[in-house]
Chains A and B, each alone.
Chain A
Amino acid sequence: MVNNSDKARILKEEFLEISRERPVDCLQCGKCSASCQAAKEMDFMPHQLVRMFHKNQIDQVMETDAIWACASCFTCGARCPRDIDLARMMETARVLYLRSNHKNLIDENEIAALNKKGLPPQAIVAGYRKFAK
Chain B
Amino acid sequence: MSKIGVFICWCGSNISETVDIEKTKAALEGLPALDYIEDYQYLCSEIGQKKIADAIKNKNLSGVVVASCSPRMHEDTFRNAAEDAGLNPYLLEIANIREHCSWVHSNKEKATEKSVALIRAAINKVKHNQPLTPGSIPVNKRALVIGGGIAGIQSAIDIAEAGYQVDIVERTPSIGGKMAQIDKTFPTLDCSACILTPKMVEASRHENIKLHTYSEVARVDGYVGNFDVEIKKKPRSIDEDKCTGCGICLEKCPGKAPSEFEEGLNERNAIYTPFPQAVPNIPTIDRDNCIKFEKDKCGLCARVCPTDAINFNQEENIIEEKYGIIITATGYQLTDPDQFGEYHYNNPDVITGMEFERIINAAGPTGGKLQRPSNSEKPDRVVFVQCVGSRDKARGHSHCSKICCMYTAKQAMLIREKYPETEVYVFYIDIRTAGKGFEEFQRRAQEDYGVNYVKGMVGKVFPGKDKLRVEAIDAMTGEFLELDSDLVILSPAAIPDQKAGDVSRQLGISQGASGFFTEAHPKLKPVETQTAGIFLAGACQGPKDIPETVAQASGAAAKAIGILSKDSLVNNPCVAEVNQADCSSCFSCKEVCPYSAIEKDETEKHGMVARVNEALCQGCGACTVTCRSSTINLKGFSNKEILSEVDAICL
Contact = CB atoms under 8 A, between A and B. Distances in A.
A48 B459 CA distance: 16
A47 B478 CA distance: 9
A44 interface: yes
Contacts of A30: 429, 455-457, 472-473, 475
Nearest to B479: A45
Contacts of B387: 29, 81
A43 to B, nearest CB: 9
Q: How large is the interface on A (under 10, 10 to 19, 20 to 34, 35 or more residues)?
A: 20 to 34
A35 interface: yes
Contact of A34 (B393, B394, B473): B473
Contacts of A47: 473, 475
A31 interface: yes
B394 A80 contact: yes
B459 A35 contact: yes
Nearest to A33: B473
A34 B429 CA distance: 12
Contacts of A82: 392-394
B460 interface: yes
Nearest to B476: A30
A81 B391 contact: yes
Interface string A53-85: 000000000000000000000000001111100
A103 to B, nearest CB: 35
Contact of B475 (A33, A40, A80): A33
A36 B457 contact: no
Contact of B393 (A31, A40, A45, A81): A81
A34 B460 contact: yes
B35 interface: no
A5 B387 CA distance: 37
Nearest to B470: A34
Nearest to B477: A45
Contact of A33 (B396, B429, B459): B459
B394 A81 contact: yes
Contact of A39 (B391, B392, B429, B473): B473
A24 interface: no
B473 A44 contact: no
Interface of A: 27-31, 33-36, 39-40, 44-45, 47-48, 79-83
A49 to B, nearest CB: 11
Contacts of A27: 391, 429-430
A33 B456 contact: yes
A29 B387 CA distance: 10
B336 interface: no
B471 interface: yes
A97 B457 CA distance: 30
The CB with the most chain B CB atoms within 10 A, among A45, A48, A80, is that of A45
B261 to A, nearest CB: 31
Interface in B371-397: 387, 391-396
Contacts of A29: 387, 391, 429, 456-457, 475
B567 interface: no
B271 interface: no
Nearest to B397: A81
Contacts of B456: 29-30, 33-34
B475 A35 contact: no
A28 B391 CA distance: 12
Contacts of A83: 393-394
* Residue of B395, B460, B472, B475 ringed by the most chain A CB atoms within 10 A: B475
